[in-house]
A = this chain, B = another copy of it.
């Protein structure tokens, strides 16, 4: 797929006409990162926007002791790094490649100029940030008000909804889930096993499917 068409598939650029897309495309550079490499370091100044063209990355916070929390996992045609471009503050998290990854990179000045010339892009960006803010609030809600089963239930429902069906295709290890919900690997293992025994979910070879939506919804709402 050529760059213009690829950019068009991204919400914040979708409103642009061909000429604009072309110009944006010309400003980008490509970069490759092998699995496990760190793309962005927390606290770095940061002056680029990244768009995932191939692979998957995780946005993580890392504590002094090395424990991590995953703020989000981004796949093809999702982007990251715009915060620092907007407010000139340092990076707020690390971004690490979960697989071999190919990114398009756009530098601050180029990006800003283009945005200023295109109010539609600014608006789409606002919508995108609003979406993230809502997600962040939901995450805070989960961490503060739900116990571990609740958080796992919510995560599974989220993924199922996103996939549009009952079965979650993505390869999620218990460790990854643990980091996403702020729990330990063992607790996740136990809880998943529990859900399975109770018949809420079905698991075969790392693929989870939701069997009893109702109960999970219950768990995801109240601390029981």
- Report which A residues bind B (CB closer than 8 A): 61, 63-65, 67, 69, 71, 83, 86-87, 89, 92-93, 116, 119, 122-123, 125-127, 129-134, 136-141, 143-146, 182, 221-223
Contact = CB atoms under 8 A, between A and B. Distances in A.
B83 A134 contact: yes
A69 B141 CA distance: 7
B141 A140 contact: no
Given A119-B116, A126-B126, A137-B93, A145 B61 contact: yes
A137 to B, nearest CB: 5
Going nearest first, the 8 A-B pairs with the smallest beta carbon separation are A144-B182, A136-B136, A64-B222, A63-B145, A69-B144, A143-B143, A129-B129, A87-B130
Nearest to A93: B137
Interface of A is mostly: helix
A130 B128 CA distance: 11
A45 B89 CA distance: 33
A133 B132 contact: yes
Given A69-B144, A133-B136, A140-B143, A127 B86 contact: yes
A151 to B, nearest CB: 11
A78 B14 CA distance: 33
Given A122-B123, A222-B63, A223-B65, A83 B130 contact: yes
